[in-house]
Structure 1
Amino acid sequence: MPFETPNTGPLTPQSENPSGFAPLRIPLFRDRWIASTISGLGTWMQDTAGTWLMTALTRSPLLIALMQTAASLPVLLLGLLAGATADIFDRRKLLIFWQSWMLGSVGILAVLTFLGHVSPWTLLAFTFLLNIGSSMNNPAWQAIVPELVPLELIPDSVSLNAASNNLARAVGPALGGLLVAAFKRIDTGSASVFLLNAVSFAAVIWVLVNWKRQPLFKSTLPSERVAASIRSGLRYVRYAPQLQATLVRTFTYTFFISAIWSLLAVVASRDLHQGALGYGILNGSLGLGALIAATSLPKLRRMVAADTIITTATLYNVITLLTLAFVHVAWIIIIVLIISGFCWTSTMSTLNVSVQLSVPDWVKARALGTYLMIFQGGMALGSVLWGVIADRTSTPIALTVSACGLVVTLPIVWRFHILQGPVPDLTPHIPGRPAPQLLTSTDPTDGPVRISIEYHISPENYAEFNHAIHQLRGVRLRDGAIRWGIYRDARDPERFNETFLMESWLDYLRSRERVTAADEAIRAHVRSLHNGKEPPVASYQIYEKEITPSPHENPQLGEVSSST
């Protein structure tokens, strides 16, 4: 099923952009893409060098698999925080800070490795620190895509970002392995790769420093605090079924597929008897397939439904896992890994596009942070499990169990559909009416606030109203309501009362700013069913806290009667 947006038809029609490279004609996106490719190249060189250095420092499959966990766990721990900060603070400044953090972390690791002061746990610790920066950086990095390209180019932009990462993944591992192999000592070669990766972050920092950012969504209200921002992000996820489906499919896929990434170094070293260069070639084979996928996805999406792409990729990776487990012929594994890389990027790019197109800008970084948290959480938890199984049994058993898990869970997750139907119009809706003015002198942070709206519905419109008002429930709760209800008057069946609670008056004002065009269409439909000369009447009530009068105001209040 092709991706569509309201009133614009298919995204990037084939007649206008058959190749999917239109975003690169935009200078700002192009500069970001080039800088990201350079940085990604350094990252994948480091991934190979770091993992291979670990194989030289220890023989434990668990410690080797923990390299993948150290890379993934920070996102599991910090994904929501990263998304919240990216939605609250200036994304450009955040990105500069976290890119500098990563430069510093890998730079220190390079120095320690050159000096010979690196151990398995030191390597894990600095890999963890590096990926703290990556986890805090990524939601903001992905959320700025709509600020750089028009809505209709977002799917192609996501594909090009995947192409950037996978171009680096295709070339970086082989370069990293080659550079490590060029030195007599593995630690010296690895340190050289770490140093090059540190320098690569400077390219991204340079682009960010020169970016004159113009955000798409800018609230006129005070910013949310971080804790409140995280709560509102979680609330949005709870009441967004389309986003939930993406998250379920993401976790199940990455949890089992993580066995490929976490145990590939063990397969290369022990089963294929390869060195650093051989491991780099195997890792690069995944990247080559992923690069092919990223450049062909724009055409593929227009012909094949998203669910079909994900299911086909899942079934093929069952073959990949079993091949790694039982086939020890290098050239066969390389061919299998190239196709596996194609399937990997096809799936992850489709899931990423689903997030980008299903959430509005005010919560986009939090949604992407949640997505990345689920993605890396699946990778981290899966890597630990497969490492433990391989450590206590064997690598082929761990890979086989992972393949069986993919097969067993596929029928379960099939009901969670991805990108079905037209893409909702998530452009912000400008309210036609000014915000209600309060007659009492109330602090905007006081609450909770109860909003009550009265409707009169004719009997012939009852069924339609009932369906529409329950659609509006999801809108209210996603935009900030903490409770919602619809009540029918027992003595007047045509009279209905919609009631919802907000944490404060300020949160209610924020909810008005968060309404999208798609949300407003639902609300307008509900109001159109109201039967009356005047619009539905709304009332706004703020919780009245108990006030204890001072004894000086009424001396008798200080006396306590024995009868009470």
Structure 2
Amino acid sequence: MSPGPGAGSAPASLTATDKISTFSSFRIRNYRLHFFGSSVSNIGTWMQRIAQDWLVHELTGSAAAVGVTLALQFLPMLLFGLWGGVLADRFDKRKLMLGTQALLGLTGLVLAALTLSGQVHVYHVYALAFVVGLATVVDNPARQVFVSEMVGPHLLRNAVSLNSANFQSARLIGPAVAGVVIMGVGSGWAFLFNGLSFIAPIVALLMMRTSELIPTERAPRGKGQLREGLRYVGRRPELLWPIVLLGFAGTFGYNFAIWLVAFTDHVFHADAGTYGLLNSLMAAGSVAGALLAARRGSRRMRFTVMAGLLFGVVLMVAAFAPTFLVFALLMPVIGLVAMTFQVTANAGIQLHSDPAMRGRVISLMMMVFVGGTPIGGPLMGWLTDTFGARIGLFAGGALCAVAAVGVALVLARIGGLKLRISLRAGSRGVALVPRDPEELAAA
């Protein structure tokens, strides 16, 4: 790898003063390869997610069982997530991704073989979900940090947003195709496509020009690297509190598989095709949110917190949608708000992190965001099974909204602000204003 950015990596016109358009990162060849390779495997990933959720529901008839599957898939991130960040900081990200992508493809092929042969049992799905989680522990921080090596800091927010748009665009196609495939020929063919789809990102990684990557400082092997990463985040409120908010959202709010399965089956009494449609509608909003984020410059942390609050509120509104049409129309809104929150938090955390620590910061972020699912998934599944889909969805949204308000109050206190409520005509009813010097001294 060259000691500096290759000339072909970023054209001379890409400077910190240039205006960023929606697709600015496409000017970089390595990123184009990454984007289009990932787009194929992302479609397969969404097909497998839908087929896996529906297969577990068919085998067990339980929303809680779907939650257990999600929990097992994300449990490795909770247990070993920080180690994935250490590996991402220490080793070549591209080589790590070659290994993880191959393992993810293999799990899809094994599940396809079991399902097509008629030998699949729910414990097979559980075991393979856990293996996917193990691969993701390393793949996630390596892939996210690798983005900065492809595009550099100036285009990082743009590339993160485009990656999210890529993943969510696949969600428009994958669930719809999966619904047709499941009803037509069975879940096994969806798993087979997913397994084969990982050929595309592997080929893309092999075709990259390593001389055009922007190298980042690698952390040397040493003791205490996990503790060092935790201390680093703990000393920085601009990292700590967005991660806390992401943790609440990931644990209690991003359990869409549980709720959409339950609403499809028990509230609207529909089939796998309807489940796929609801996922696709949510994805349409997510794509819009990601593309809007790709055009934005830096945002204040208050924007991320407000997006987190709005996400919780929209979930609570959707919980009591009176008809299927209203519920379906709310899916794009949920997708847009959820993606706006996720992208702005992710990009802000990366931009505020030192490059040598970024892998560990990202792994901690993903550990609390994704790793909370082993707690939230079964809990939300139990609430949904016991009290109904509407109560389960409302509870998840309420917890996210309360967390956003709590984080906002903490950040306001750290920033020397206080909440002012004014009933006078012509003034802002609710606003954050600087605290008096006497109040700051007393605090």
| TM-score, normalization by structure 2 | 0.84
Q: Equivalent residue for 1:294? A: 290
Q: Equivalent residue for 2:303? A: 308
Shift of 1:104: 1.3
For 1:242 and 1:305, the matched residues in 2 are separated by 10
Is the 2:307–2:341 contact (alpha carbons within 8 Å) kept by the matching residues of 1? no
Q: Which amino acid aligns with 1:274?
A: A
Decide whether aligned partners of structure 1 residues 296 and 407 sit closer, same or farther in structure 2, where only a CA change above 3 A counts. closer
Is the 1:320–1:337 contact (alpha carbons within 8 Å) kept by the matching residues of 2? no
Q: Equivalent residue for 2:384? A: 390
Decide whether aligned partners of structure 1 residues 142 and 201 sit closer, same or farther in structure 2, where only a CA change above 3 A counts. same
Decide whether aligned partners of structure 1 residues 259 and 195 sit closer, same or farther in structure 2, where only a CA change above 3 A counts. closer
Question: Out of 236, 251, 260, which is 2:247 matched to?
Answer: 251
1:57 is the counterpart of 2:59: yes
Is the 2:304–2:345 contact (alpha carbons within 8 Å) kept by the matching residues of 1? no
Shift of 1:282: 0.4
Shift of 1:357: 0.3
Q: Equivalent residue for 1:162? A: 164
Q: Which moved more, 1:121-130 or 1:395-404?
A: 395-404
Is the 1:253–1:314 contact (alpha carbons within 8 Å) kept by the matching residues of 2? no
Question: Out of 365, 368, 372, which is 1:371 matched to?
Answer: 365
Shift of 1:292: 0.8
Shift of 1:63: 0.4
Is the 2:229–2:360 contact (alpha carbons within 8 Å) kept by the matching residues of 1? yes
Q: Which amino acid aligns with 2:290?
A: A
Q: Equivalent residue for 2:334? A: 340
Is the 2:53–2:257 contact (alpha carbons within 8 Å) kept by the matching residues of 1? no
SS in 1 for 2:371: helix
Residue-by-residue CA offset, 1:389-436 (whole Å, 9 max, x unaligned):
223332222222223323333321114559x99xxxxxxxxxxxxxxx
Shift of 1:145: 1.2
Question: Out of 190, 198, 206, which is 2:195 matched to?
Answer: 198
Q: Compute the RMSD of aligned alpha carbons.
A: 2.4
Is the 1:49–1:190 contact (alpha carbons within 8 Å) kept by the matching residues of 2? yes
For 1:285 and 1:12, the matched residues in 2 are separated by 36
* Percent identity for Structure 1 against Structure 2: 28
Question: Out of 269, 272, 288, which is 1:276 matched to?
Answer: 272
1:353 is the counterpart of 2:355: no
For 1:154 and 1:202, the matched residues in 2 are separated by 26
Give the count of matched residue pairs: 399
Is the 1:78–1:135 contact (alpha carbons within 8 Å) kept by the matching residues of 2? yes
For 1:310 and 1:40, the matched residues in 2 are separated by 28
For 2:307 and 2:144, the matched residues in 1 are separated by 26
Q: Equivalent residue for 1:492? A: none
Q: Which amino acid aligns with 1:107?
A: L
- Within a 5 Å distance, the mapping from 1:314-329 to structure 2 comes to 314-323=309-318, 325-327=319-321, 329=323
Q: Equivalent residue for 1:216? A: 215
Shift of 1:49: 0.7
For 2:29 and 2:196, the matched residues in 1 are separated by 23
Is the 1:260–1:321 contact (alpha carbons within 8 Å) kept by the matching residues of 2? no
For 1:54 and 1:130, the matched residues in 2 are separated by 16
SS in 2 for 1:287: helix
Shift of 1:196: 0.5
For 2:169 and 2:135, the matched residues in 1 are separated by 22
Q: Equivalent residue for 1:264? A: 260
Question: Out of 390, 401, 405, which is 2:399 matched to?
Answer: 405
For 1:12 and 1:161, the matched residues in 2 are separated by 21
For 1:410 and 1:217, the matched residues in 2 are separated by 33
Q: Which moved more, 1:156-165 or 1:143-152?
A: 143-152
Is the 1:166–1:290 contact (alpha carbons within 8 Å) kept by the matching residues of 2? yes
Is the 1:293–1:345 contact (alpha carbons within 8 Å) kept by the matching residues of 2? yes
Question: Out of 232, 235, 248, which is 2:228 matched to?
Answer: 232
Q: Equivalent residue for 2:9? A: none
Shift of 1:64: 1.8
Is the 1:271–1:328 contact (alpha carbons within 8 Å) kept by the matching residues of 2? no
- Within a 5 Å distance, the mapping from 1:107-126 to structure 2 comes to 107-126=109-128
Is the 1:69–1:380 contact (alpha carbons within 8 Å) kept by the matching residues of 2? yes
Q: Which amino acid aligns with 1:336?
A: L
Larger helix fraction of residues: 2
Q: Which amino acid aligns with 1:99?
A: Q
Q: Which moved more, 1:379-388 or 1:198-207?
A: 379-388
SS in 2 for 1:224: coil
Decide whether aligned partners of structure 1 residues 316 and 356 sit closer, same or farther in structure 2, where only a CA change above 3 A counts. closer
Higher relative contact order (CA 8 A, sep 6+): 2
SS in 2 for 1:362: coil
Q: Equivalent residue for 1:175? A: 177
- Where does the alignment leave 5 or more consecutive residues of structure 2 unmatched? 1-14, 416-443
Residue-by-residue CA offset, 1:205-250 (whole Å, 9 max, x unaligned):
111223343552346x9x314x633232223223233211221121
| TM-score, normalization by structure 1 | 0.67
Decide whether aligned partners of structure 1 residues 315 and 178 sit closer, same or farther in structure 2, where only a CA change above 3 A counts. same
Is the 1:171–1:287 contact (alpha carbons within 8 Å) kept by the matching residues of 2? no
For 1:228 and 1:202, the matched residues in 2 are separated by 37
Is the 2:179–2:272 contact (alpha carbons within 8 Å) kept by the matching residues of 1? yes
For 1:377 and 1:396, the matched residues in 2 are separated by 24
Decide whether aligned partners of structure 1 residues 401 and 217 sit closer, same or farther in structure 2, where only a CA change above 3 A counts. closer
- Where does the alignment leave 5 or more consecutive residues of structure 1 unmatched? 1-10, 184-188, 422-564
